[in-house]
Amino acid sequence: MTNQLIAYSSSNREEGEFPDVEYLKREFRTSGVSFTGIGNSCVVRMEVENGSANLMLPSGLITSFKPQMWHGATMELLHTFVSQAEEAVQGGLSLALALHNDTTGLSWSPDAWALSKVSRTPESIQVELISTSEDATCQVKHVITLERDRLNSDILVSNSATSSSLHLMGSAMCHLTVSTPDAVYALGLEASDYFISPPFETSFSIIPPDVQNPTTFWPFNKLISKEKEEEEELMGEEDDNYKHLSEKLSRIYTSAPRSLTIIDRGRRNSVTVRRQGFKEVYIFSPGSEHEWYNNYSFICIANSALLEPVILNAQTEWRGGLQLWNPNS
Protein backbone atom coordinates (compact mmCIF):
# COMPACT_ATOMS: atom_id res chain seq x y z
CA MET A 1 0.00 0.00 0.00
CA THR A 2 1.27 3.47 -0.83
CA ASN A 3 1.37 6.40 1.54
CA GLN A 4 -1.40 8.14 -0.38
CA LEU A 5 -4.43 8.86 1.77
CA ILE A 6 -7.50 6.84 0.76
CA ALA A 7 -10.74 8.64 1.61
CA TYR A 8 -14.43 8.04 1.00
CA SER A 9 -17.12 10.53 1.93
CA SER A 10 -20.85 10.91 1.60
CA SER A 11 -23.31 13.73 2.13
CA ASN A 12 -26.59 12.13 1.14
CA ARG A 13 -27.32 10.20 4.33
CA GLU A 14 -29.49 11.76 7.04
CA GLU A 15 -27.85 12.14 10.44
CA GLY A 16 -29.12 9.70 13.03
CA GLU A 17 -31.31 7.62 10.74
CA PHE A 18 -31.17 3.84 10.97
CA PRO A 19 -27.83 2.84 9.41
CA ASP A 20 -28.13 1.08 6.05
CA VAL A 21 -25.33 -1.43 6.50
CA GLU A 22 -25.19 -2.48 2.86
CA TYR A 23 -24.95 1.16 1.80
CA LEU A 24 -22.11 1.75 4.27
CA LYS A 25 -20.26 -1.30 2.95
CA ARG A 26 -20.50 0.02 -0.61
CA GLU A 27 -19.85 3.69 0.07
CA PHE A 28 -17.06 3.37 2.64
CA ARG A 29 -15.29 0.22 1.54
CA THR A 30 -11.78 0.50 2.96
CA SER A 31 -9.10 -1.99 3.90
CA GLY A 32 -9.27 -2.72 7.63
CA VAL A 33 -12.81 -1.35 8.07
CA SER A 34 -15.95 -3.50 8.32
CA PHE A 35 -19.65 -2.85 9.05
CA THR A 36 -22.00 -5.19 10.92
CA GLY A 37 -25.67 -4.60 11.69
CA ILE A 38 -26.81 -5.36 15.26
CA GLY A 39 -30.44 -4.52 16.02
CA ASN A 40 -31.00 -0.86 15.19
CA SER A 41 -27.28 -0.11 15.22
CA CYS A 42 -24.25 -0.66 13.02
CA VAL A 43 -20.89 -1.64 14.47
CA VAL A 44 -17.93 -0.11 12.62
CA ARG A 45 -14.78 -2.17 13.22
CA MET A 46 -11.34 -0.71 12.50
CA GLU A 47 -8.21 -2.88 12.41
CA VAL A 48 -4.58 -1.86 12.02
CA GLU A 49 -1.47 -3.93 12.65
CA ASN A 50 -1.62 -5.13 16.28
CA GLY A 51 -4.63 -3.01 17.19
CA SER A 52 -8.39 -2.56 16.72
CA ALA A 53 -11.34 -0.39 17.75
CA ASN A 54 -15.12 -0.57 17.44
CA LEU A 55 -17.74 2.18 17.35
CA MET A 56 -21.52 2.16 17.01
CA LEU A 57 -23.80 4.14 14.72
CA PRO A 58 -25.86 6.25 15.03
CA SER A 59 -24.93 6.72 18.73
CA GLY A 60 -21.24 7.39 18.07
CA LEU A 61 -20.26 5.30 21.11
CA ILE A 62 -16.75 3.80 20.93
CA THR A 63 -17.06 0.40 22.57
CA SER A 64 -13.58 -1.11 22.13
CA PHE A 65 -9.91 -0.21 21.87
CA LYS A 66 -7.49 -3.14 21.85
CA PRO A 67 -3.79 -2.29 21.43
CA GLN A 68 -0.93 -4.77 21.71
CA MET A 69 0.70 -5.18 25.13
CA TRP A 70 4.22 -6.03 26.26
CA HIS A 71 3.36 -9.75 26.38
CA GLY A 72 2.44 -9.79 22.66
CA ALA A 73 -1.36 -10.15 22.93
CA THR A 74 -3.90 -7.37 22.56
CA MET A 75 -5.85 -6.16 25.61
CA GLU A 76 -9.15 -4.29 25.91
CA LEU A 77 -8.75 -0.85 27.47
CA LEU A 78 -12.38 0.36 27.37
CA HIS A 79 -15.03 -0.89 29.76
CA THR A 80 -18.59 -1.58 28.57
CA PHE A 81 -21.57 -3.67 29.60
CA VAL A 82 -25.16 -4.07 28.45
CA SER A 83 -27.60 -2.45 30.85
CA GLN A 84 -30.65 -4.64 31.40
CA ALA A 85 -32.71 -1.67 32.50
CA GLU A 86 -31.85 0.44 29.46
CA GLU A 87 -31.29 -2.50 27.07
CA ALA A 88 -28.33 -0.57 25.73
CA VAL A 89 -24.54 -0.58 25.85
CA GLN A 90 -23.08 1.59 28.61
CA GLY A 91 -19.52 2.80 29.16
CA GLY A 92 -16.89 3.01 26.44
CA LEU A 93 -15.77 6.37 25.07
CA SER A 94 -18.42 8.91 24.12
CA LEU A 95 -19.23 12.58 23.73
CA ALA A 96 -21.81 14.26 25.97
CA LEU A 97 -22.12 17.82 24.71
CA ALA A 98 -24.80 20.49 25.01
CA LEU A 99 -24.80 23.78 23.14
CA HIS A 100 -26.90 26.77 24.17
CA ASN A 101 -27.65 29.72 21.88
CA ASP A 102 -27.53 32.87 23.99
CA THR A 103 -29.78 34.80 21.57
CA THR A 104 -32.59 32.34 20.87
CA GLY A 105 -32.34 30.56 24.21
CA LEU A 106 -32.47 27.20 22.40
CA SER A 107 -30.28 24.24 23.36
CA TRP A 108 -29.10 21.31 21.26
CA SER A 109 -27.09 18.15 21.85
CA PRO A 110 -25.38 16.06 19.13
CA ASP A 111 -26.68 12.62 20.14
CA ALA A 112 -27.16 11.06 16.67
CA TRP A 113 -24.32 10.82 14.18
CA ALA A 114 -23.88 10.17 10.47
CA LEU A 115 -20.75 8.67 8.95
CA SER A 116 -19.13 11.32 6.77
CA LYS A 117 -15.68 10.00 5.82
CA VAL A 118 -13.36 7.01 6.20
CA SER A 119 -9.62 7.48 5.57
CA ARG A 120 -6.73 4.99 5.56
CA THR A 121 -2.96 5.24 5.64
CA PRO A 122 -0.54 2.33 6.20
CA GLU A 123 -0.31 3.29 9.90
CA SER A 124 -3.83 4.49 10.76
CA ILE A 125 -7.57 4.49 10.09
CA GLN A 126 -9.67 7.61 10.53
CA VAL A 127 -13.46 7.78 10.75
CA GLU A 128 -15.31 11.09 10.67
CA LEU A 129 -18.80 11.46 12.16
CA ILE A 130 -20.99 14.53 11.79
CA SER A 131 -24.04 15.97 13.56
CA THR A 132 -25.83 19.23 12.71
CA SER A 133 -28.44 21.24 14.59
CA GLU A 134 -31.92 21.60 13.09
CA ASP A 135 -31.36 25.24 12.15
CA ALA A 136 -27.98 24.28 10.59
CA THR A 137 -26.12 27.00 12.52
CA CYS A 138 -24.12 24.55 14.62
CA GLN A 139 -22.19 21.52 13.43
CA VAL A 140 -20.08 19.05 15.39
CA LYS A 141 -17.54 16.73 13.81
CA HIS A 142 -16.18 13.77 15.77
CA VAL A 143 -13.02 12.36 14.21
CA ILE A 144 -11.84 8.99 15.56
CA THR A 145 -8.31 7.96 14.61
CA LEU A 146 -6.90 4.52 15.35
CA GLU A 147 -3.15 3.89 15.33
CA ARG A 148 -1.20 0.95 16.69
CA ASP A 149 -0.86 2.39 20.22
CA ARG A 150 -3.25 5.36 20.12
CA LEU A 151 -6.92 6.16 19.86
CA ASN A 152 -7.76 9.81 19.23
CA SER A 153 -11.19 11.33 19.74
CA ASP A 154 -11.07 14.80 18.17
CA ILE A 155 -13.95 17.29 18.23
CA LEU A 156 -14.57 20.26 15.93
CA VAL A 157 -17.52 22.51 16.83
CA SER A 158 -18.52 25.18 14.29
CA ASN A 159 -20.82 28.13 14.98
CA SER A 160 -21.97 29.47 11.60
CA ALA A 161 -24.52 31.91 13.05
CA THR A 162 -24.00 35.50 11.96
CA SER A 163 -24.54 37.15 15.34
CA SER A 164 -25.26 34.55 18.06
CA SER A 165 -22.67 33.02 20.35
CA LEU A 166 -22.86 29.47 21.67
CA HIS A 167 -22.12 28.14 25.15
CA LEU A 168 -20.69 24.62 25.05
CA MET A 169 -20.78 22.32 28.08
CA GLY A 170 -20.11 18.63 28.51
CA SER A 171 -17.24 16.21 28.00
CA ALA A 172 -15.37 13.58 26.07
CA MET A 173 -15.70 10.69 28.52
CA CYS A 174 -13.99 7.31 28.65
CA HIS A 175 -14.48 4.32 30.94
CA LEU A 176 -11.17 2.51 31.38
CA THR A 177 -11.48 -1.16 32.31
CA VAL A 178 -9.44 -2.20 35.34
CA SER A 179 -9.02 -5.23 37.58
CA THR A 180 -10.43 -3.32 40.55
CA PRO A 181 -10.17 0.35 41.57
CA ASP A 182 -8.22 -0.86 44.61
CA ALA A 183 -5.30 -1.67 42.28
CA VAL A 184 -5.47 1.62 40.33
CA TYR A 185 -3.43 4.81 40.70
CA ALA A 186 -3.55 8.13 38.86
CA LEU A 187 -0.09 9.58 38.24
CA GLY A 188 0.45 13.31 37.82
CA LEU A 189 -2.34 15.05 39.75
CA GLU A 190 -0.25 16.54 42.57
CA ALA A 191 -0.95 20.26 43.20
CA SER A 192 -4.01 20.21 40.89
CA ASP A 193 -7.01 22.15 42.16
CA TYR A 194 -10.26 20.19 42.28
CA PHE A 195 -13.96 20.61 42.90
CA ILE A 196 -15.93 17.79 44.57
CA SER A 197 -19.03 17.08 42.48
CA PRO A 198 -21.88 14.60 42.12
CA PRO A 199 -21.22 11.86 39.53
CA PHE A 200 -21.73 13.09 35.98
CA GLU A 201 -24.57 11.11 34.39
CA THR A 202 -24.82 10.82 30.60
CA SER A 203 -26.56 8.50 28.15
CA PHE A 204 -23.60 6.10 28.35
CA SER A 205 -22.11 6.64 31.81
CA ILE A 206 -21.97 3.75 34.29
CA ILE A 207 -23.21 4.71 37.74
CA PRO A 208 -23.41 1.91 40.35
CA PRO A 209 -26.75 1.73 42.20
CA ASP A 210 -25.07 2.49 45.53
CA VAL A 211 -23.89 5.91 44.26
CA GLN A 212 -26.32 8.63 45.32
CA ASN A 213 -27.59 11.70 43.46
CA PRO A 214 -25.90 11.59 40.04
CA THR A 215 -26.53 14.69 37.96
CA THR A 216 -26.39 15.80 34.34
CA PHE A 217 -24.04 18.53 33.16
CA TRP A 218 -26.44 21.49 32.99
CA PRO A 219 -26.86 21.75 36.81
CA PHE A 220 -23.09 22.14 37.14
CA ASN A 221 -23.62 25.81 36.31
CA LYS A 222 -25.28 26.12 39.70
CA LEU A 223 -22.41 24.53 41.61
CA ILE A 224 -20.24 27.60 41.25
CA SER A 225 -23.05 29.88 42.47
CA LYS A 226 -23.24 28.32 45.96
CA GLU A 227 -22.59 30.36 49.07
CA LYS A 228 -18.88 31.02 49.42
CA GLU A 229 -18.51 28.99 52.63
CA GLU A 230 -20.24 25.98 51.07
CA GLU A 231 -18.26 26.31 47.85
CA GLU A 232 -14.96 26.36 49.74
CA GLU A 233 -15.89 23.09 51.44
CA LEU A 234 -16.13 21.45 48.01
CA MET A 235 -12.76 22.73 46.81
CA GLY A 236 -9.28 21.41 47.45
CA GLU A 237 -5.78 20.79 46.13
CA GLU A 238 -4.49 17.32 45.35
CA ASP A 239 -1.57 16.43 47.62
CA ASP A 240 -0.79 13.02 46.14
CA ASN A 241 1.09 12.53 42.87
CA TYR A 242 0.31 8.80 43.00
CA LYS A 243 -3.41 9.05 43.71
CA HIS A 244 -4.96 5.78 44.87
CA LEU A 245 -8.47 5.45 43.38
CA SER A 246 -9.70 2.70 45.71
CA GLU A 247 -12.38 4.82 47.41
CA LYS A 248 -15.51 6.33 45.84
CA LEU A 249 -14.43 9.57 44.21
CA SER A 250 -16.06 12.16 41.94
CA ARG A 251 -14.02 15.27 41.26
CA ILE A 252 -13.49 17.90 38.60
CA TYR A 253 -9.84 18.94 38.42
CA THR A 254 -9.50 22.51 37.17
CA SER A 255 -5.70 22.71 36.82
CA ALA A 256 -4.63 19.17 35.93
CA PRO A 257 -1.74 18.52 33.50
CA ARG A 258 -2.56 17.75 29.88
CA SER A 259 -1.48 14.11 30.31
CA LEU A 260 -2.42 11.71 33.09
CA THR A 261 -1.29 8.11 33.45
CA ILE A 262 -3.57 5.49 34.97
CA ILE A 263 -1.69 2.48 36.38
CA ASP A 264 -3.47 -0.83 37.09
CA ARG A 265 -1.30 -3.14 39.20
CA GLY A 266 -3.83 -5.96 38.87
CA ARG A 267 -3.63 -6.13 35.07
CA ARG A 268 -0.01 -4.90 35.00
CA ASN A 269 -0.66 -2.21 32.44
CA SER A 270 -1.03 1.55 32.19
CA VAL A 271 -2.87 4.04 29.97
CA THR A 272 -2.01 7.68 29.32
CA VAL A 273 -4.98 10.02 28.82
CA ARG A 274 -4.21 13.26 27.01
CA ARG A 275 -6.34 16.39 26.82
CA GLN A 276 -6.90 18.96 24.06
CA GLY A 277 -9.07 22.09 24.17
CA PHE A 278 -10.90 21.30 27.39
CA LYS A 279 -9.66 22.96 30.59
CA GLU A 280 -11.07 20.50 33.13
CA VAL A 281 -10.60 16.81 33.92
CA TYR A 282 -13.40 14.83 35.56
CA ILE A 283 -12.48 11.62 37.42
CA PHE A 284 -14.97 9.14 38.84
CA SER A 285 -14.14 5.97 40.75
CA PRO A 286 -16.99 3.65 41.82
CA GLY A 287 -14.87 2.38 44.72
CA SER A 288 -13.56 -1.08 45.53
CA GLU A 289 -16.58 -2.64 47.26
CA HIS A 290 -17.51 -4.54 44.09
CA GLU A 291 -16.09 -7.83 42.82
CA TRP A 292 -12.95 -7.83 40.68
CA TYR A 293 -13.44 -7.82 36.90
CA ASN A 294 -17.18 -7.10 37.07
CA ASN A 295 -19.54 -4.42 35.73
CA TYR A 296 -18.06 -1.81 38.07
CA SER A 297 -14.37 -2.57 37.52
CA PHE A 298 -13.56 0.69 35.78
CA ILE A 299 -12.29 4.23 36.22
CA CYS A 300 -14.04 7.06 34.39
CA ILE A 301 -12.00 9.98 33.05
CA ALA A 302 -13.41 12.86 31.01
CA ASN A 303 -11.90 15.94 29.46
CA SER A 304 -14.64 18.40 30.24
CA ALA A 305 -16.30 21.79 30.38
CA LEU A 306 -18.61 21.20 33.36
CA LEU A 307 -17.94 24.10 35.70
CA GLU A 308 -17.26 26.72 33.06
CA PRO A 309 -18.65 26.66 29.49
CA VAL A 310 -16.64 27.11 26.33
CA ILE A 311 -17.92 30.18 24.48
CA LEU A 312 -17.97 30.18 20.68
CA ASN A 313 -18.58 33.59 19.14
CA ALA A 314 -20.43 33.85 15.85
CA GLN A 315 -18.56 32.48 12.82
CA THR A 316 -15.92 30.71 14.94
CA GLU A 317 -14.74 27.15 15.61
CA TRP A 318 -13.50 25.29 18.65
CA ARG A 319 -11.38 22.14 18.84
CA GLY A 320 -11.08 19.70 21.69
CA GLY A 321 -10.55 16.05 22.30
CA LEU A 322 -9.15 13.09 24.19
CA GLN A 323 -6.35 10.67 23.35
CA LEU A 324 -5.69 7.23 24.80
CA TRP A 325 -2.06 6.13 24.48
CA ASN A 326 -0.83 2.64 25.27
CA PRO A 327 2.82 2.79 26.45
CA ASN A 328 2.98 -0.97 27.06
CA SER A 329 3.78 -2.41 23.62
Alpha-carbon Rg for the chain, nearest whole angstrom, is: 20
Mean pLDDT for the chain?
A: 88
- pLDDT at res. 6: 38
pTM for the full model?
0.90
Secondary structure (DSSP) of 259-276 = EEEEEETTTTEEEEEEEE
> Taking a C-beta distance cutoff of 8 angstroms, is the pair 164, 314 a contact?
yes
Residue 22 in this model has a pLDDT that exceeds 80: yes
- pLDDT at res. 329: 77
More confident residue, 136 or 126: 126
How far is Cα 172 from Cα 7, in angstroms, rounded to an integer? 25
How far is Cα 203 from Cα 244, in angstroms, rounded to an integer? 27
pLDDT tens for 102-122 read 888 889 999 999 999 999 999
